[in-house]
Structure 1
Amino acid sequence: MVAAADAQNFVQKLGITHDMVVQELGWDEDTDDELRVAVEDAIGGEMVDEDSDEVVDVVLLWWRDGDGDLVDALMDAIGPLSDDGFVWVLTPKTGQPGHVEPSEIAESAPTAGLTQTSASNLGSWSGSRLVQPKARAPKR
C-alpha cells in the first residue's frame, strides 16, 4: 500500500481533479485501496463501476497478467469515455504477481484505437495513460 500523501501525489500524476467522473474497472483484492480513496477524495464522490451508463472523464483499468484480452478490455473501456477522456491502465510493477509487460500495453492500445501518452510509477502499481486520437477536421 502507499502512504496517503503518496496517494495524493499519484492522483495528481493521473490528472484526476474535482468533479471528474471516474470509472473503475478490474477491481480485485490486490487493488491499491489508498489510491482508490485518494481518487474519490479528489473527485469529491465515488467512482462509478462497469454497470454505469454515465459518460466518464477517466477510466481506471486495473489489469493483471491473466486477466484476459487487453484489447477487448480497452474497447469496453472507451465506450463511455468523453471525447477528451483518457484511460489509465494500472498494472502490478515489475517483479510483482500479475505483472504485465509494457510492450503488451503498447501493442494493445493502437488496436483499440488509443495512443499511449505517458507512463507513471504509482507505488506497487504502474500506470499507462491512453488517449483517443483527436478527430481530424473534415476536409472541405
Structure 2
Amino acid sequence: MNTTAGQADGRSLADRFGIEPGMVVMEMGYDDDVDEDLRDTLIERCGELVDEDTDEVVDAVLLWWRDGDGDLFDTLVNARTPLADSGVVWLLTPKAGRPGHVEPSEVNESAPTAGLQQTSTVNAGKDWTGARLVARRATSNRR
C-alpha cells in the first residue's frame, strides 16, 4: 500500500505531490519548521497557497502536523471540508527521530475515522514525510 517516491524516479516534488498549474492548494499548520524548499516548489507550480480561512473549493491540502499540535482527527475533518470530491490531503509529519514526530498509529487511527484513507507516502524533504490521504469511497448505498 505504501509506495515511497525516491529521488531516483526523476520526478520533481510537485510531480510526486500531483500538483498541477492552476490547482488551488490550501496550507494548514504552517510554522517556522516547515520545509521551505517544498513550499517554494509547490508555489512555483500552482501559484500562492491559500490559507484555511478560504471560501474556495480546493484541489489539495498541505497539512503540516506535529506531535502536540492537538487533535489530528478534528484537523483532518477541517481539512476535508473545503476539499473537492477528487481532492487529496497531504499530511506532512516530521520523520522519525525529528522533533514532533507523529507515530504512524496515530495517522492510522485518525484518518479512517475522518473518512480518509492513506494511499501512499513520499519523502517530502530532509525532515518531513508526506502521507497522501483521499476520501474513502462508499462500498454500498445504505440508507
Q: TM (normalized to structure 1)?
A: 0.88
Query: Structure 2 CA distance, aligned partners of 1:10 and 1:94?
Result: 20
Q: Identify the residue that residue 74 of structure 2 maps to in structure 1.
A: 72
CA displacement at 1:102 relative to structure 2: 1.3
**Matching residue's letter, 1:53:** D
Closer, same or farther: CA 67–17 of 1 in aligned 2, 3 Å: same
Query: Structure 1 CA distance, aligned partners of 2:76 and 2:22?
Result: 23
Among 87, 95, 107, the alignment partner of 1:93 is 95
Query: Structure 1 CA distance, aligned partners of 2:15 and 2:105?
Result: 25
CA displacement at 1:134 relative to structure 2: 2.8
The CA RMSD measured in Å over matched residues stands at 1.5
Among 32, 44, 60, the alignment partner of 2:35 is 32
Q: Identify the residue that residue 51 of structure 1 maps to in structure 2.
A: 53
Q: Identify the residue that residue 10 of structure 1 maps to in structure 2.
A: 13
> Is residue 2:124 matched to residue 1:125?
no
- 5+ residue gaps, structure 2, are 1-10
Please identify, of 57-66 and 102-111, the stretch whose mean Cα deviation from structure 2 is larger.
102-111
Higher relative contact order (CA 8 A, sep 6+): 2
Q: Spell out structure 1 runs of 4+ moving beyond 4 A.
A: 135-139
Among 60, 84, 87, the alignment partner of 1:82 is 84
Query: Structure 1 CA distance, aligned partners of 2:100 and 2:22?
Result: 32
CA displacement at 1:138 relative to structure 2: 5.1
**Matching residue's letter, 2:22:** D
Cα shift readout 1:28-73 (whole Å, capped 9, x = no counterpart): 0101111111101111x10100110100000000000000000000
- The alignment partner of 1:95 has SS state of coil
Query: Structure 1 CA distance, aligned partners of 2:87 and 2:35?
Result: 22
**Matching residue's letter, 1:11:** A
Q: Identify the residue that residue 108 of structure 2 maps to in structure 1.
A: 106
Aligned length: 131
> Is residue 2:14 matched to residue 1:20?
no
Q: Percent identity?
A: 58
